[in-house]
Amino acid sequence: MNSRKPKRPLASTEVALSLHEEPPEEQETPQPAQNNSPKPRREGQETPQHAQDIHLRPRRRGAKRSVPTSEHCSYFSTTPGTLFRLGSSGYTYKFWHSEGSFYHNVPEQHEFQYYASEFDTVEINATFYRWFRESVWDNWRVRATSIRPSFEYVIKANQYYSHMKRLNVDDKFKASWAKFYASCQRLGPHLGPILFQFPESFKRDSITLARMEDLGKVLDPNGKFVFEFRHISWFCPELYVILKRHNWCLALVEVSGAGPAWCSTLSKGPNPRIEDYPLDSCTWGAYVRFHGAQGKYIGAYGPEKMTEWAWKFAEWTGQSDPSRRVYAAFNNTDDGRPPGAIADPRSLADALRNLGYT
């Protein structure tokens, strides 16, 4: 049996790089100049549309505008309470247009309209790989306002900060961050948390802990920031003290599947363990990233598992003031009809409603 992982479908409207591909880490790379020209095509890949991924194609004269909506829009026509935000990691994937998948018969230029008719949040992966003009951020804001006023974007912080600078908060870092964060602010009420995702090689030690402290001198004290660590050494009291001091949120990392966990130091299942999750470190939210029930980015968790998580989320919100939200981001985007990143939040929403969250 051929065990080689098939190529990940290219995201059609974000970036030419695979959205889950880890960047090189061997040496620090200067912050690239803003460049919005299309990436060179790699062999075997289709050329993506312009990375702005937000402009609708012009209508032919006399053509009638059609704004599609998900047939399941009733799941999220009213988000369960104001306590929960459920969505996928990215929303533009080629194979999601295949029969039986999410966007079947939906034109690519209407992907966001269709997605936002059902879900009220999404992780934007493109910002991890590229820098965008102010006009792009403005269009993201306008688009959300016109289609779903309550919509939130979770913005992935650029890899420059997490993988290249590795949180070395020097003058270059500070200057770059000031520009990036100013761009994020252009989203206005549609800006959700900003997510820092670190590579597995980023381990906790005295230097990296000190860098987390230095980061606190740069980040907006009123901003919402989430940190996903993929090395087990980070799940410790020393980190939780820093998180609580700055009101930062830890992303709980759910990795499952046959064989060793693909983040080799992490355990199968939730990391940290659910009972060890530092809920009290952050007053505004909790965050869970579901990376796949059967392996890296594959496999739906299913209704039974989502019901278990619904009970846990209800418990978390019951321990907090009403302003705390639980974010559930589904990164199991790479298989299934519909993909797990669509089926699982639907199941989770149903389970929450069954618990009385309407």
pLDDT confidence bin for 345, thresholds 50/70/90? very high
Q: For residue 242, is pLDDT > 50?
A: yes
Q: Which residue shows structure tokens 């194609």? A: 57
For residue 344, the one-letter residue type is D
Distance CA 331, CA 290 (A): 6
Lowest mean pLDDT among 42-56, 201-215, 331-345: 42-56
Q: What are phi and psi of 172, to 5 degrees?
A: -65, -45
User: Could you report the per-residue pLDDT of 197-221, keeping only the tens digit for each?
Assistant: 999 999 999 999 999 999 999 999 9
Q: Which residue shows structure tokens 């299934």? A: 336
DSSP structure string for 139-191: HHHHHHHHH-TT-EEEEEPPHIIIIISTT---HHHHHHHHHHHHHHHTTGGGE
Query: What pLDDT does residue 54 have?
Result: 34
Nearest to 312 by CA among 342, 346, 274: 274
Lowest mean pLDDT among 13-17, 70-74, 298-302: 13-17
Please tell us whether the domain made up of 73-354 is placed in CATH 3.20.20.410.
yes
Query: What pLDDT does residue 264 have?
Result: 81
Rounded mean pLDDT, 51-76: 46
Are 310 and 355 within 8 A, CB to CB?
yes
> Hey, how many other C-beta atoms are within 10 angstroms of the C-beta on 223?
16
pLDDT confidence bin for 332, thresholds 50/70/90? very high
Are 231 and 202 within 8 A, CB to CB?
yes
Are 98 and 337 within 8 A, CB to CB?
yes
Those residues whose C-beta lies under 8 Å from the C-beta of residue 73, and which sit 6 or more positions away, are: 117, 118
Q: Residue 11 corresponds to which tokens in the numbers above? A: 């995201």
Q: For residue 91, is pLDDT > 60?
A: yes
User: Could you report the per-residue pLDDT of 250-275, keeping only the tens digit for each?
Assistant: 999 999 876 666 788 999 999 999 99
Distance CA 48, CA 2 (A): 29
Q: For residue 111, is pLDDT > 90?
A: yes
Query: What pLDDT does residue 26 have?
Result: 38
Rounded mean pLDDT, 61-70: 53
Q: Which residue shows structure tokens 């790379």? A: 29
User: Could you report the per-residue pLDDT of 292-313, keeping only the tens digit for each?
Assistant: 999 999 999 999 999 999 999 9
pLDDT confidence bin for 72, thresholds 50/70/90? low
Task: Express as a percent the part of the chain with pLDDT over 70.
Answer: 75
Task: Express as a percent the part of the chain with pLDDT over 90.
Answer: 69
Query: What pLDDT does residue 320 have?
Result: 56
pTM: 0.81
Distance CA 235, CA 339 (A): 30
User: Could you report the per-residue pLDDT of 168-180, keeping only the tens digit for each?
Assistant: 999 999 999 999 9
Query: What pLDDT does residue 150 have?
Result: 92
Lowest mean pLDDT among 30-39, 72-81, 156-165: 30-39
Mean pLDDT over each residue of the chain, to the nearest integer: 82
Q: Which residue shows structure tokens 């669509």? A: 342
Distance CA 247, CA 275 (A): 20
> Hey, how many other C-beta atoms are within 10 angstroms of the C-beta on 36?
13
